[in-house]
């Protein structure tokens, strides 16, 4: 009795046949195999995306078909929508060079960086080369890297402008869009979350919600926000279940990080000072000014509570 191959196995064989034809420079046969798979509505999504990515390369380079960069970009866009990382990298190059799409270096660089972050080897290598070139003083390379942060910085600054003018709802809208964007620059996404903490704490532009403020703070703290405020919240049970040990641990971590940064800054390293400023939008001096007071308040609060519990443990009023 004949055995039937699973559909996914057949699709893999068809995809691999395309590669075999391509390696042997039988480009038209390769295109035929991949095109059949790419246009099949009931094909496995993974192999349909792979076939579309390979077809994009054929159209981009004119291999087995008439060169058509618009069709290449269209196919890579379809493959990217199906989570193909290589297609994201290729489409990013299209936007940077303006081939097949309207040139948009910011969008292109964002796609390439995403592909690198998701593990695409070509994208990772490309980003490493770009960073090295920028470090060596290549102005074009630095300009491309600056594209990654330009849009997010403008949106973050708009939020501050609205906040200063007491248009709190518009400020929240700007920061919330940035904070929830998966493809935004990590630094500005964390900064936006930190600003939203203030809005939820004070009920500005949104309903006051300490729980949501803590959730946002937890998301931001690993990348950007100082740990002091989160530690104080845990010590006092504001928006979270009270946990003095965790609160004091966070405060201690912040102190250790501060001390380490001060050690690194000996000799007046400008780049290190800039890193410290970037961690806190309200400025390094404000952070230093409140540092010891916050520590003392947290410890005092914990000691007073312990004292009250020990003195009134068995009494009833």
Q: Is the pLDDT of residue 222 over 70?
A: no
Q: Mutual orientation of helices 139-164 and 105-117 as an angle, nearest 10°?
A: 100
Residue with tokens 């010590």: 235
Question: Any idea which fold 7-140 has?
Answer: 1.25.40
Percent of the chain with pLDDT over 90: 26
Which of the two residues, 238 and 252, has the higher pLDDT score?
252
Are both 7-140 and 149-309 of the same fold? yes
The string over 85-96, giving b where at least 16 C-beta atoms fall within 10 Å of a residue's C-beta and e elsewhere, is bbbbbbbbbbbb
Residue 295: pLDDT band (50, 70, 90) is: low
Which sequence spans correspond to the domains of the chain? Answer: 7-140, 149-309
pLDDT for residue 272: 44
149-309 classified as CATH 1.25.40.10: yes
Predicted TM-score (pTM) of this structure: 0.54
Task: Return mean pLDDT, the chain.
Answer: 76
The first and second tokens of residue 199, run together, are 């809005």
Interval 83-103 mean pLDDT: 91
Residue 280 has pLDDT above 50, yes or no: no
Rg (CA), the chain: 27
More confident residue, 254 or 173: 173
pLDDT of 200 = 87
């Amino acid at each position: 009795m004949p055995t039937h191959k699973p559909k996914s196995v057949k699709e893999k064989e068809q995809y691999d046949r395309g590669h075999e034809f391509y390696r042997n420079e039988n480009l038209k046969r390769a295109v035929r195999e991949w095109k059949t798979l790419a246009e099949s509505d009931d094909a496995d999504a993974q192999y349909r995306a792979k076939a579309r990515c390979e077809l994009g390369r054929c159209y981009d380079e004119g291999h087995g078909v008439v060169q058509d960069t618009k069709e290449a970009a269209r196919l890579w866009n379809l493959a990217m929508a199906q989570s193909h990382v290589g297609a994201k990298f290729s489409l990013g190059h299209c936007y940077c060079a303006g081939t097949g799409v309207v040139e948009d270096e910011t969008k292109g660089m964002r796609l390439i960086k995403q592909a690198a972050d998701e593990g695409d080897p070509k994208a990772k290598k490309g980003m490493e080369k770009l960073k090295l070139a920028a470090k060596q003083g290549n102005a074009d390379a630095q300009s491309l890297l600056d594209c990654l942060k330009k849009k997010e910085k403008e949106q973050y600054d708009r939020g501050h402008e609205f906040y200063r003018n007491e248009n709190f709802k518009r400020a929240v809208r700007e920061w919330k869009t940035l904070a929830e964007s998966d493809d935004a620059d990590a630094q500005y996404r964390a900064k936006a979350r930190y600003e939203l903490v203030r809005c939820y704490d004070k009920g500005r532009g949104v309903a006051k919600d300490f729980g949501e403020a803590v959730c946002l703070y937890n998301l931001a703290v690993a990348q950007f926000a100082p740990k002091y405020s989160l530690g104080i919240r845990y010590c006092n049970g504001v928006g979270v279940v009270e946990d003095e040990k965790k609160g004091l641990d966070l405060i201690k971590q912040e102190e250790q990080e501060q001390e380490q940064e001060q050690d690194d800054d000996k000799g007046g390293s400008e780049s290190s000072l800039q890193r410290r400023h970037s961690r806190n939008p309200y400025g390094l001096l404000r952070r230093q000014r409140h540092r010891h007071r916050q520590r003392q308040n947290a410890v005092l609060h914990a000691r007073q509570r312990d004292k009250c519990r020990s003195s009134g443990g068995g009494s009833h009023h």
